[in-house]
């Protein structure tokens, strides 16, 4: 195996693959062409931590849709297991799962995305991948099986990526609640001496390389 040819990296293309889901067969990434979308894996159906995550994703689904983003889950369970699990969630927890779940029972996509740890058995870890409308992988997160994800952080990261793309800026730590510049975004550093000198005199600049502003201004 040529490792570099199979390595999934930030900024790279999402691999083309046909998958079976609870909402029918989908061709990825074509099914989400022109859209932001988030693929997240879970270790197994009918497990407590995964159930809490799916309920949280479902309860926050409208917020993802408001950001024009789609969700799709994944585990190596078979599709009938997914169907029975989401039926259980709806019946017992009164929450409907509105997004599809991939039945990656052969582990093909999980293997491509590095979601099966050789130290954690055959189940997938808790992976998160955010793709942009060009199917470029813009963010990757991996959590161990025993730690549930913060769904609001995934929403925050999605909004930060969209803000960065739209306004050509960067976002600080904990944005939009940063301890230094609050909800401001970071302006790209000056690229020449004249601009650097001007920036040192500007109100929202700590120095020529650290300036900030309200997004959109």
- State the catalytic residues: 50
**What are the backbone dihedrals phi and psi of residue 133, each rounded to the nearest 5 degrees, phi first?**
-60, -15
- Hey, is 158 helix, strand or coil? helix
Beta-ladder partners of 20: 25
- The residues, any chain, with a CB within 8 Å of residue 125's CB and separated by 6 or more, are 41, 43, 115, 116, 117, 142, 143, 144, 145
Sheet bearing 185-187, strands edge to edge: 185-187, 210-213, 205-207
**C-alpha 165, offset from chain centre:** 15
Tell me how far apart the alpha carbons of residues 96 and 86 are, in angstroms, rounded to a whole number. Answer: 7
Between the two ends of the chain, the Cα-to-Cα distance in Å is 49
Residue 162 preceded by cis peptide, ω within 30: no
CA torsion, ordered 33, 153, 140, 87, to nearest 10 deg? -70
Tell me how far apart the alpha carbons of residues 137 and 33 are, in angstroms, rounded to a whole number. Answer: 13
Question: DSSP assignment, residue 144?
Answer: -
């Amino acid at each position: 195996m040529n490792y570099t040819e199979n390595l999934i990296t930030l900024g790279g293309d999402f691999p083309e693959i046909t998958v079976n889901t609870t909402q029918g067969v989908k061709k990825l990434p074509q099914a989400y062409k022109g859209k932001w979308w988030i693929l997240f894996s879970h270790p197994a159906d009918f497990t407590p931590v995964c159930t809490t995550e799916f309920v949280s994703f479902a309860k926050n689904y409208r917020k993802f849709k408001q950001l024009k983003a789609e969700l799709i889950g994944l585990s190596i369970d078979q599709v009938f297991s997914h169907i029975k699990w989401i039926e259980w969630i709806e019946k017992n927890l009164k929450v409907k799962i509105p997004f599809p779940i991939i039945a990656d029972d052969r582990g093909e996509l999980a293997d491509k995305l590095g979601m099966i740890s050789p130290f954690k058995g055959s189940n997938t870890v808790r992976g998160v991948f955010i793709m942009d409308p060009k199917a470029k992988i813009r963010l990757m997160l991996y959590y161990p099986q025993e730690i549930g994800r913060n769904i609001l952080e995934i929403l925050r990261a999605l909004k930060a990526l969209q803000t960065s793309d739209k306004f050509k800026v960067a976002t600080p730590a904990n944005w939009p609640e940063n301890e230094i510049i609050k909800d401001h975004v970071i302006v790209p550093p000056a690229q020449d001496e004249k601009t650097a000198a001007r920036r040192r005199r500007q109100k929202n600049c700590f120095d020529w390389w650290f300036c900030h502003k309200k997004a959109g201004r």
